[in-house]
């Protein structure tokens, strides 16, 4: 049976804005209060996804979440009509309103951790939505994420959906952004790499000093247990706390893997050599560990350009390509490194650049925008087919974006009650286009 890796990209929602909500994420903080362009953001994401589909890869779309999140605002004591709730929140707690308006569900690398059926004891594909407890605006995502994932992967014969982990910082879980799977072929059992920022229950363990370590070892181990992975298929690696303090808030800002390639920065991990040995022991395959030295690319350049927030994809020809943001082309050190990489004897033979600046300005590169799901043909046939990106869906979604999205949004605009109507009208139509059922609270 044919096996492959599908990418499910997050569709950018109508309230995409820059509110500076993510302490530790340099781009989010530096671009706070910039005026966003939700229409351009959604189209940039769709273009990137369509280009991957045109390369012959399986590409799906995950629907955005309902924002403004009036349910959270009501839960914290605002009342009256929807317009009243929004306006009172804008007046009294603008920071909380901003948190309830973020379109952050677009970064579907943080939607969930996914383990393919080749790795799991029950032979099903497992999903655990990330609880994202480190950031208020993200901690309100997991329930709807679970609904959207279940509506997309909607056959219990093939797909096993778990609840998100307990909502406490001992179990801080950021999903696939801290998870990479190495394997010989997608259909063979692989080794799942869980990269964590701190061991929450060990007071003596190393952790960053300045910025939060969002992912805990406890969460990573819980996901591995839930997904029925064997110890022989897992490697737990601690992220270097010093790079977290320089803006590497997720592992996918400093490392990315695909099949038998692990592409990472020299300073990405603690205890690197031992961990690479463990991977070699656990995975019976020729492996390419591509380590990028600080002398060629500094942490600062890696964080600015998102060199490692690239997607490494296997093309139908068997060669691999890197899907990079245009910011990598614009950074001289990174551009030079990528040109050199193509001359090294590795499976990576091409680099393709995409403008995803609307997302990048909030710290989300190409890899943040997608959730990887390694699967086989039967599993693909069991996916909700209306979520797969065909020419027809691409055209339909572009028309839908043109109809419903603004091309300018400031944080002041988030107090506009019209935004509630626009967003709900758009999402109601989208849930029909993608045949998702009533995934949104306003539809229930």
Please report, as ranges, the residues that interact with ligand SUG according to CB under 6 A: 18-22, 25, 28, 102, 104, 107, 109-110, 135, 138, 177, 250, 252-253, 362-364, 368
The verdict on whether 174 is a catalytic residue reads yes
Residue matched to tokens 């959207």: 148
* DSSP for 242-297, written as a single string: HHHTTT--SGGGTEEEETTEEEEETTSBSSHHHHHHHHHHH--S--EEEEEPTTTS
What are the residues whose beta carbons fall under 8 Å from the beta carbon of 38, sequence distance 6 or more? Answer: 12, 13, 14, 15, 16, 17, 103, 358, 405, 406, 407, 409
User: Between 22 and 65, whose beta carbon lies closer to ligand SUG?
Assistant: 22
Structure tokens at 422: 């626009």
Spell out a b/e string for 338-358, using b for 16 or more CB atoms within 10 Å of the CB, else e.
beebeeeeebbeebbbbebeb
User: Would you give the DSSP letter of residue 388?
Assistant: B
The verdict on whether 250 is a catalytic residue reads yes
Distance CA 63, CA 152 (A): 9
Catalytic residue among 3, 250, 265, 404: 250
In the complex, least distance from residue 154 CB atom to ligand SUG, rounded to whole angstroms: 25
User: Between 13 and 60, whose beta carbon lies closer to ligand SUG?
Assistant: 13
Structure tokens at 164: 């998100």
In the complex, least distance from residue 20 CB atom to ligand SUG, rounded to whole angstroms: 5
In the complex, least distance from residue 344 CB atom to ligand SUG, rounded to whole angstroms: 26
71 φ, ψ to 5°? -65, -40
Cβ-contact 223, 146 below 8 angstroms: no
Catalytic residue among 126, 179, 368, 379: 368
User: Between 28 and 72, whose beta carbon lies closer to ligand SUG?
Assistant: 28
User: Between 195 and 368, whose beta carbon lies closer to ligand SUG?
Assistant: 368
What are the residues whose beta carbons fall under 8 Å from the beta carbon of 412, sequence distance 6 or more? Answer: none
User: Between 215 and 431, whose beta carbon lies closer to ligand SUG?
Assistant: 215
In the complex, least distance from residue 182 CB atom to ligand SUG, rounded to whole angstroms: 18
> By C-alpha distance, which of 323, 335, 271, 265 is closest to 295?
265
Cβ-contact 235, 196 below 8 angstroms: no
Catalytic residue among 174, 192, 218, 379: 174
User: Between 43 and 138, whose beta carbon lies closer to ligand SUG?
Assistant: 138
In the complex, least distance from residue 100 CB atom to ligand SUG, rounded to whole angstroms: 12
In the complex, least distance from residue 233 CB atom to ligand SUG, rounded to whole angstroms: 23
Give the catalytic positions in this structure.
Answer: 174, 250, 368
């Amino acid at each position: 049976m044919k096996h492959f890796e599908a990418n499910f990209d997050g569709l950018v929602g109508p309230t995409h804005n820059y509110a500076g909500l993510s302490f530790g994420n340099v781009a989010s903080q530096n671009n706070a209060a910039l005026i966003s362009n939700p229409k351009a953001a959604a189209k940039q994401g769709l273009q990137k996804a369509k280009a991957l589909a045109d390369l012959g890869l399986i590409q799906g779309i995950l629907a955005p979440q309902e924002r403004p999140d009036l349910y959270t605002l009501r839960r914290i004591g605002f009342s009256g009509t929807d317009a009243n709730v929004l306006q009172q929140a804008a007046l009294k707690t603008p920071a909380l309103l901003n948190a309830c308006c973020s379109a952050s569900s677009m970064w579907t690398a943080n939607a969930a951790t996914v383990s393919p059926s080749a790795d799991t004891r029950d032979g099903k594909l497992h999903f655990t939505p990330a609880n994202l407890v480190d950031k208020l605006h993200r901690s309100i995502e997991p329930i709807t994420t679970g609904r959207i994932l279940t509506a997309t992967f909607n056959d219990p014969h093939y797909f096993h959906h778990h609840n998100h982990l307990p909502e406490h910082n001992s179990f801080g879980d950021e999903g696939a952004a801290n998870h990479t799977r190495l394997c010989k072929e997608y259909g063979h059992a692989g080794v799942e790499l869980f990269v964590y920022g701190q061991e929450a229950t060990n007071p003596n363990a190393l952790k960053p000093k300045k910025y939060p370590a969002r992912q805990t070892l406890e969460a990573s181990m819980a996901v591995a247990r839930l997904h029925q992975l064997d110890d022989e298929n897992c490697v737990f690696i601690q992220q270097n706390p010093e790079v977290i303090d320089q803006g590497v808030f997720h592992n996918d800002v400093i490392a990315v893997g695909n099949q038998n390639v692990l592409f990472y920065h020299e300073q990405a991990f603690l205890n690197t050599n031992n961990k690479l040995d463990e991977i070699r022991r656990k995975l019976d395959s020729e492996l390419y560990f591509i380590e990028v030295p600080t002398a060629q690319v500094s942490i600062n350049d890696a964080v600015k350009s998102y060199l490692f927030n690239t997607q490494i994809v296997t093309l139908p020809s068997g060669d691999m390509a890197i899907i990079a943001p245009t910011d990598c082309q614009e950074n001289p050190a990174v551009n030079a490194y990528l040109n050199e990489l193509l001359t090294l004897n590795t499976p990576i033979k091409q680099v393709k650049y995409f403008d995803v600046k609307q997302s990048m300005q909030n710290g989300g590169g190409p890899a943040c925008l997608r959730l990887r799901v390694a699967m086989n043909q039967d599993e693909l046939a069991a996916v909700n087919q209306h979520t797969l990106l065909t020419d027809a869906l691409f055209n339909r979604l572009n028309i839908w974006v043109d109809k419903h999205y603004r091309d300018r949004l400031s944080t002041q605009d988030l107090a506009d009650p019209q935004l509630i109507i626009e967003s709900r009208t758009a999402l109601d139509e989208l849930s029909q286009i993608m045949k998702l059922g009533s995934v949104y609270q306003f539809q229930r």
